[in-house]
Amino acid sequence: MFHSKITVTLRTSILDPQGKAVEHGIHSLGMTNIEHVRIGKFIEFDVNTEAKEEAERVTMEACRKLLANPVMEDFTFTLEKIQKPVHA
Amino acid sequence: MPKLKFGIIVFPGSNCDHDAHYAAGTIMGQDARFIWHKDSSLGDVDVVIIPGGFSYGDYLRCGAIARFSPIMKDVVRFAGMGGTVLGICNGFQILTEAGLLPGTLLRNASLKFVCKDVFLKVENSDTRFTGACKAGGVLRIPIAHGDGNYFADAETRARLEENGHIVFRYCSPGGEITAEANPNGSQGNIAGIVNEAGNVLGMMPHPERACDPILGNTDGQRIFKSVMGSFVIQEVVHNLS
């Protein structure tokens, strides 16, 4: 079994007003060396297979077809081999 | 001419479905019916309205889950055959997610939900949704959305511009396209677009909320009258040929 952790973010070419607002808040706290704040989504799930290629394939397919909208979002993911479900 | 049959799709979380039904049925005097999203067939409708609201609670992205509802397969088929499809607000978002319209709707640049009347310039009055509007005319129609900031890549936008697929732009009361008149940060003040074939319209403003004379503004009726007029033209053409 594999555990997929997916990060979806707005494409860098797209202005992220939420990130800008949060960056402003961080700066108000005095941490002025923090910059380029981007807000994204975190999604995780288990893939019930022993083959890493299969886990990669279905995670990629889920990202492409549903979890991210390619018009505005990019995604990255990591896979970790696990013995039992992480959140079951 | 017989009444047109308006089918209004109802998703869990739709909240402008009754307004659309009231506008098409009670105000415009057409045959309006609700179609539950779990149904697999649109039946014999002439026009499909995908209404505003928060289908599936806007989970993941606005419209992202609704497009997998069983009825959407038939909406895609209907649109592919040239059927008239009008997506309003969340309906516009669903149509972009379903791939029936290009681009997407981002979070409002202000990050705020905006609910107010806006002015729309009719950029193309030669569509089946705007035939009863004056070219370059201005409509006053309310908006109510948090994610209405239209975005498409440069190539897509150039294509929309060249082909006259941008139907409405946010404008001043006098019809000027200005940054101040843009309520959500949309590229080029875009408020509504049609697909290449011209039979699918998506718009963020709510024409169904500006139909009843008792509300003091009937500009939204123009959209419904245009759609009804397009069927009269089709019928005349059919009878001539």
Residue B34: both structure tokens together: 């609700």
Contacts of A59 (CB under 8 A, 6+ apart): A4, A6, A47, A77, A79
Q: Which of B21, B97, B208, B211 is catalytic?
A: B208
Residue B163: both structure tokens together: 């082909």
Measured between CA atoms, the residue of chain B closest to residue A10 is: B106
Q: What are the extents of the domains in chain A?
A: 2-81
The string of pLDDT tens digits covering residues A11-59 is 998 989 899 999 999 999 999 999 999 999 999 999 999 999 999 999 9
A72 vs B210: CA distance, rounded Å: 32
- In 3-state terms, what secondary structure has residue B141? strand
Say yes or no: ipTM exceeds 0.95: no
Is residue B161 annotated as part of the catalytic site, yes or no?
no
B171 vs B181: CA distance, rounded Å: 5
Residue A29: both structure tokens together: 């706290």
What residue type is assigned to position B44 of the chain? Answer: D
pLDDT one digit per residue (tens) for chain B, 241 residues: 789 999 999 999 999 999 999 999 999 999 999 999 999 999 999 999 999 999 999 999 999 999 999 999 999 999 999 999 999 999 999 999 999 999 999 999 999 999 999 999 999 999 999 999 999 999 999 999 999 999 999 999 999 999 999 999 999 999 999 999 999 999 999 999 999 999 999 999 999 999 999 999 999 999 999 999 999 877 777 777 6
Q: What are the extents of the domains in chain B?
A: 5-240
- Asked if residue B45 lies in contact with residue B7, where contact means CB atoms within 8 angstroms, the answer is yes
- Does B46 touch chain A if contact means CB atoms closer than 8 Å? no
Residue B64: both structure tokens together: 């992202």
B96 vs B79: CA distance, rounded Å: 13
- In 3-state terms, what secondary structure has residue B145? strand
Q: What is the pLDDT of residue B241?
A: 66
- Asked if residue B170 lies in contact with residue B119, where contact means CB atoms within 8 angstroms, the answer is yes
Measured between CA atoms, the residue of chain B closest to residue A21 is: B111
Q: What is the pLDDT of residue A86?
A: 80
B74 vs B72: CA distance, rounded Å: 5
What residue type is assigned to position A15 of the chain? Answer: L
Residues of A in contact with B97 (CB under 8 A): 69
B200 vs B100: CA distance, rounded Å: 7
Domain covering B5-240, topology = Rossmann fold (3.40.50)
Q: Are B109 and A17 an interchain contact pair (Cβ–Cβ within 8 Å)?
A: yes
| Shortest distance, CA B156 to any CA of chain A (angstroms) | 11
- Architecture label for domain A2-81: 2-Layer Sandwich (3.30)
B163 vs B186: CA distance, rounded Å: 19
- Does B96 touch chain A if contact means CB atoms closer than 8 Å? yes
B239 vs B145: CA distance, rounded Å: 43
B52 vs A76: CA distance, rounded Å: 32
What residue type is assigned to position A58 of the chain? Answer: V
The string of pLDDT tens digits covering residues B25-55 is 999 999 999 999 999 999 999 999 999 999 9
